[in-house]
Structure 1
């Protein structure tokens, strides 16, 4: 009996350790939680980064479609550059309490869909980071982390290095018409760096999408106190295409890309059919680089008076279902490829789905998953062009001598249209 108990305990520990080392990501764990926004308060939908010990804050907002009020708690945990837990005690990275309850909530008004909107700003008097780095924000119910509601990635920087970056055409001749290459120079003057190849790492991502990112672990060469990353084979990104978008700021009239709006016991929005955009040449379109904005043109406060609608999407992919499946993604669903974003095939040879979304302006795109290879491609249906306007985020991580954690010591933002 003791042997069985020992084996079960061993299996539990192995599973627990494996789970605890799983990288944290942006995720929503309950189907009734919708419209999660998380950004620097200086600008809606902005990258969720703040400077340590400054007046900057991020705001988290989300809706609970069950209505009423629930006991939601939150905390933050320090992580390394790869979003694994740093395994520090909360006293080492938090200035005050280890968790707090979300007290700011309001009920929806004059909407078909009833919901409760929750909101919290960080840092605050109860939860504040002590050291720079990556932090995962956790929201859970009844003070029990086993009842996880959602997680969001938070970046806390203490700027100790200078970052110079520029975007050029790819050095690969075959990719000149499709790819955008970033060249970086990191000046770490004044920083105690004993081994530049080990102590500093640079992560670069496109449009705040970690799945597009490259982790630079070694520079191309070192020039004095500068690390130069310009090798022909690194930081070479697919330009992709501008995002598609639709506008439901008003449900009283058809706006751009909307075919029909029905309002009865619920709101229904039917979008125009989307074509396959993998064309020979780039076409200029304006987008929000994958973001979404909760806006109600007919109300006063979209946080509580914007309504929800069943939004119907149709895609003429010019591909049969035997070849693969498209998924609809954007910042609004954390670019997740799952059953909620998967599209179905109809008898007319088109793919379709519907999503339950709050009023606003949404960017989205289609990702094609090939049946034979099971590989996901966000260019197969959208196209891939050097001319595409993109945002890039550059994050510099540093491990101090003798430290057990990594700090975020540099950040740079680039826009290919505003260099």
Structure 2
């Protein structure tokens, strides 16, 4: 029997077609092909590619932690700051690339969207001072004499090592607007009776008198997002109706978003005393901070809390310059989710980690029924929230542990994109930021 089976599999020493081996080989080839495309897709999002890179800040210099949008041709700048815990100094370069509204490369020559050089080196760096954790702090301001955008639109800022863009260190999304339209918006309760107590509906009007718009249904589209979180965004491709040179977006079925809840927060501006959410601080050869336990906040009624809409601020009130004398600490979080690993997994997110759901933001389950994790974070004020990923659906749910309420105070960003007929790129022609009124 064995000899017969062997004869059927081999003919004159040549192995006969094996379907299982072929499927395994095809799966391996698909995985190898997928990895570069995954890296390419990540290069157009806010991503940190090196584990030693921490505390990335990117904002308009007019206000710390503000949305990274600047007006083309103005004196506005954005500031990029980050720490390298590996110490020493790296040979870091940067550039920006023009993208469309969906964050795909516009595939333009750099000469078409850059006024000067194609890339430049980061020369502004300093070493930490009087800290347990040694690090090198890098800073960069854009536009500058060497790198400046020529066209309005979305740009991805890339920082990479040794002048090689294949060695990416981090990427940030930059918005350059030429304010050619005006945007006015309001936030009301949901038109849907079932979601009236949980959702916020954004209605807005775009006045485009300064643009040559041939077809409003295709030349203009508007992206709406909550608290600068792209994953919450909605793209409006077609207005509800057109009135003169105004586009009205108020259909009952569009821009109806969960209000969610105010963010949780903690304050480590000083490591010498416990603040509101701090249980214990230990200082020896390193800093260790244990936070008070976090409860499940999915309750029937809204509770007023003040937050920073997911932002974080690097501050050391006991030092002189938080950029180089703020220290790092192991922050210990624990969550009473009233859920078990058989149901799913919680993740901790905020602007400090780009709201990423990965192994570093994943919580572990202990034998007393609580979830826990520790993060290595720089001193400051942090907003954070928990996202639940059920085993059944694998779909992130950011309301089951936090709650969902119409009364929540949120900021909304409205970005108006314009592509005239025959154009090769998409412009950012308008920007507005509106906020709900605190109850």
TM-score range, shorter chain: over 0.9
In the TM superposition, residue 417 of structure 1 has moved relative to its aligned partner by 1.5
Matched, 1:385 2:400: no
User: Can you list the C-alpha shifts for 1:318-365, whole angstroms capped at 9, x where unaligned?
Assistant: 111110100000000000000000000000000000000000000000
Contact 2:389/2:397, CA 8 A, preserved across alignment? yes
1:360 maps to which residue?
380
User: Can you list the C-alpha shifts for 1:108-134, whole angstroms capped at 9, x where unaligned?
Assistant: 000000000000000000000000000
1:3 maps to which residue?
none
* Unpaired stretches in structure 2, ≥5 consecutive residues: 1-30
- The alpha-carbon distance between structure 1 residues 171 and 375, as it changes in their structure 2 partners (threshold 3 A), is same
Moved over 2 A (4+): 11-23
- The alpha-carbon distance between structure 1 residues 133 and 418, as it changes in their structure 2 partners (threshold 3 A), is farther
- Secondary structure of the residue aligned to 1:91 is helix
Contact 1:23/1:84, CA 8 A, preserved across alignment? no
In the TM superposition, residue 24 of structure 1 has moved relative to its aligned partner by 1.2
In the TM superposition, residue 16 of structure 1 has moved relative to its aligned partner by 6.8
Q: What is the alpha-carbon root mean square deviation over aligned residues?
A: 1.7
Distance 1:260 1:23 in 2: 39
User: Can you list the C-alpha shifts for 1:199-253, whole angstroms capped at 9, x where unaligned?
Assistant: 1010000000000000000001111111111111100010000000000000001
Matched, 1:42 2:55: no
Q: Please, which of 334, 340, 353 is the counterpart of residue 333 of structure 1? A: 353
1:8 maps to which residue?
none
Matched, 1:216 2:216: no
* Unpaired stretches in structure 1, ≥5 consecutive residues: 1-10
Distance 1:340 1:97 in 2: 37
Q: Please, which of 167, 176, 185 is the counterpart of residue 156 of structure 1? A: 176
- The alpha-carbon distance between structure 1 residues 89 and 301, as it changes in their structure 2 partners (threshold 3 A), is same
Q: Please, which of 184, 194, 216 is the counterpart of residue 196 of structure 1? A: 216
User: Can you list the C-alpha shifts for 1:79-132, whole angstroms capped at 9, x where unaligned?
Assistant: 000000000000000000000000000000000000000000000000000000
- Equivalent pairs counted in the alignment come to 409
Q: Please, which of 79, 92, 96 is the counterpart of residue 116 of structure 2? A: 96
Q: TM-score if structure 1 supplies the norm length? A: 0.95
Distance 1:335 1:246 in 2: 17
Contact 1:64/1:117, CA 8 A, preserved across alignment? yes
Matched, 1:86 2:109: no
Contact 1:258/1:270, CA 8 A, preserved across alignment? yes
Q: TM-score if structure 2 supplies the norm length? A: 0.91
Q: Please, which of 138, 155, 175 is the counterpart of residue 195 of structure 2? A: 175
- Secondary structure of the residue aligned to 1:304 is helix
Contact 1:23/1:83, CA 8 A, preserved across alignment? no
Distance 2:271 2:43 in 1: 40
- The alpha-carbon distance between structure 1 residues 193 and 16, as it changes in their structure 2 partners (threshold 3 A), is farther
